[in-house]
Amino acid sequence: MRTARIVEEGPAYYHVISRVVGREFVFAADAERERFRAIMRAVEAFSGVRILTWAILSNHFHIQVHIPERGEISDQELGRRMRYLYSQDKVDAFMGELETLGEVLRCRVRDFTDGLVLGRKVYVEELFRRKRSHFSPKRQDGARAMKGAQWGDLCTIRDLRVNVMGASLAPV
């Protein structure tokens, strides 16, 4: 059962643990653990969070992280960090649109942490179909549009309604 999080103000250290959906053993082979490690390091470089140590087990992982003091980052720094996750052409296209999306990206968006599943509508619907037994029999479909900005085809599986954005914004 999920427990309430304790969040520190300013720099902090956290122990993060997460298990694989369905408790499947997806990290059983070295190749899967190495792929996870590469993704973890790319997200570390993008986010500015420092990973101190980690353990990847066959169906879950532990990560010890240091969260630095929160601060503003420049558009140039955002573009540099995005190169850890996206190809140069995608970064260039995004930077061209930054004027309308910049404020949204700087907000804490609950969909990324509490939405359970994040992806294009087709992906979320497929996952819902495969894991149908985990949801209420009354539920007709899985994908829920993200609120707070123009997210295109991005959806979550939870319909978050309260405090979607961590900061108040005018509609984009």
Q: What is the mean pLDDT of residues 154-160?
A: 79
| Domain around 157 | 110-172
Dihedral class, residue 126 (left if φ above 0, else alpha if ψ from -120 to 50, else beta): alpha
How many domains does the chain divide into?
2
Kindly state whether residues 116 and 169 are assigned to the same domain.
yes
2 in a structural domain: no
Kindly state whether residues 60 and 118 are assigned to the same domain.
no
3 in a structural domain: no
36-67 pLDDT, tens digit each: 899 899 889 888 899 999 999 998 999 999 99
88 in a structural domain: no
123 in a structural domain: yes
pTM (2 d.p.): 0.52
What pLDDT, on the 0 to 100 scale, is given for residue 62?
94
What pLDDT, on the 0 to 100 scale, is given for residue 50?
94
Helix (H, G, I), strand (E, B) or coil at 149: coil
Q: What is the mean pLDDT of residues 5-17?
A: 82
23 in a structural domain: yes
Contact 158, 119 (CB under 8 A): no
The fraction of the chain above a pLDDT of 70, given in percent, is 75
104-108: long-range contacts at Cβ-Cβ below 8 A with a sequence spacing of 24 or more? 104/148, 104/149, 104/165, 104/169, 104/172, 105/78, 106/72, 106/167, 107/148, 107/165, 107/166, 107/167, 107/169, 108/165, 108/166, 108/167
What pLDDT, on the 0 to 100 scale, is given for residue 82?
82
96 in a structural domain: no
